[in-house]
Amino acid sequence: MANFRKTQHVRSISFPARSHPATIKAEEELNKLKSLMIVSSSSSLKLDGILSGLFGLSELYNSVEEVLQLPLTQTALRQNQSSPEWLNRVLEDSIKHMDVCSGTRDLVIVLKDSLQNIQSSIRRRKSGLGSDVSNFQQSRKKMMKESAKLKYFSDMSENGSEDRDELQSAVMRVLKETSVMTLFMFQSLLSYVSGTAAAGSGKWSLVSKVLKQHGDCSELDEMEMVLKKLMFSGDKKNDDCGMKYTMEKLEALNLGMEDVEDGLDRIFRCLIRERVTLLNVLSC
């Protein structure tokens, strides 16, 4: 996933009331997600890795919520209101995260719809397959724009001023590291969906060579190549076989995109809950 190894060091973090089951679980979830991203960064992005990352991130937020509910945590948050810069950054980041999560989910829905339209065209043998494939490619390109916006958010977070005393706060550290993991997870998802221009010549032989040379490409990149292969097929027998194979791939990919959508929904709810919890604690 998105060069995680180069920018992050794997280390355990210390929480308040370390012996509390909630803090132990949060440590485990955070370090588990870090390890998952480092493993994924060393290989090609796959849908299973993306789904595992989304699930791991939602579990991390569930654990962080338990930490935020600890009396010791809430006391630490209230005491830091006299120097609220980092709390303001946390609340600002939560808005950014919700914005990116919502925008990414909307684009995933558009992508899923384009895949379903392709399925319909193939099933009915409609002449508009080329147009549907073009829409599919365009929906992937839109992900690149969302990725650029996320890069801007990430740069803004990294360039924020940091007070050395505030960094000693375990509460702040867990919220900050969770924020970093959230940005990396969204960046990985957007990189997976936008992919690279996998389709070249429409010739069967060239596409087959590309598939063999890039057997580790993502499911979406492979789908794009398979669709190009199907459109340029002139052999009736091979065309029928290609349609069956393509339909199977489309069905699996559609189900995968539904799982991605569900994962983003879970994370969005987690983001809202975290923000509400912080605001409630600070208002007391």
HEC readout, 79-145: HHHHCCHHHHHHHHHHHHHHHHHHHHHHHHHHHHHHHHHHHHHHHHCCCCHHHHHHHHHHHHHHHHH
In total, how many domains does the chain have?
1
Convert the pLDDT of each residue in 11-49 to its tens digit: 444 445 555 677 778 888 888 888 877 766 555 678 998
* Residue 271 confidence (pLDDT) above 60: yes
Examine the pLDDT at 231 and tell me if it is beyond 70. Answer: yes
Question: Looking at residues 251-280, what average pLDDT do you find?
Answer: 95
pLDDT of 280 above 60: yes
Nearest-angstrom CA–CA distance, 103 and 97: 10
**Between the ranges 23-32, 97-106, 128-137, 254-263, where is the mean pLDDT highest?**
254-263
pLDDT of residue 171 exceeding 90, the answer is no
Question: Which percentage of the chain shows pLDDT scores above 70?
Answer: 69
* 237 band by pLDDT with thresholds 50, 70 and 90: low
Q: Which domain holds residue 222?
A: 4-283
